[in-house]
């Protein structure tokens, strides 16, 4: 039986929502192994001078817990 843990992370990008999600996964994978999936819970944009300045995401990252730890 596998045990799956879920953590919630926030990430942002000046480029796109996709880039924000990629940054979230890259940062989490520095300390968490066995990532299975990412669920994008929420998205938002920050606006400055009538233009989108940055894209933000709140993600739930699921990963398998190693039973040998």
Which residues make Cβ contacts (< 8 Å) with residue 13, sequence separation at least 6? Answer: 19, 20, 22, 23, 54, 55
Cβ neighbours of 42 (radius 10 Å) = 9
Instruction: Provide the pLDDT for residue 1.
Output: 74
Domain ranges of the chain: 3-65
φ, ψ for residue 17 (rounded to 5)? -65, -45
Instruction: Provide the pLDDT for residue 69.
Output: 62
Check whether 26 has a pLDDT greater than 70.
Answer: yes
Instruction: Provide the pLDDT for residue 2.
Output: 82
Q: In which residue are the tokens 């919630």 written? A: 8
Question: What is the value of pTM for the model shown?
Answer: 0.87
> Which CATH fold would you assign to the domain 3-65?
Dodecin subunit-like (3.30.1660)
């Amino acid at each position: 039986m596998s045990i799956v843990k879920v953590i919630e992370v926030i990430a942002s990008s000046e480029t796109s929502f996709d880039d924000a999600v990629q940054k979230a996964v890259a940062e989490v994978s520095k300390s968490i192994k066995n990532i299975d999936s990412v669920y994008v819970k929420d998205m938002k944009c920050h606006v400055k001078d009538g233009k989108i300045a940055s894209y933000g995401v709140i993600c739930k990252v699921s990963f398998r817990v190693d039973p040998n730890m």
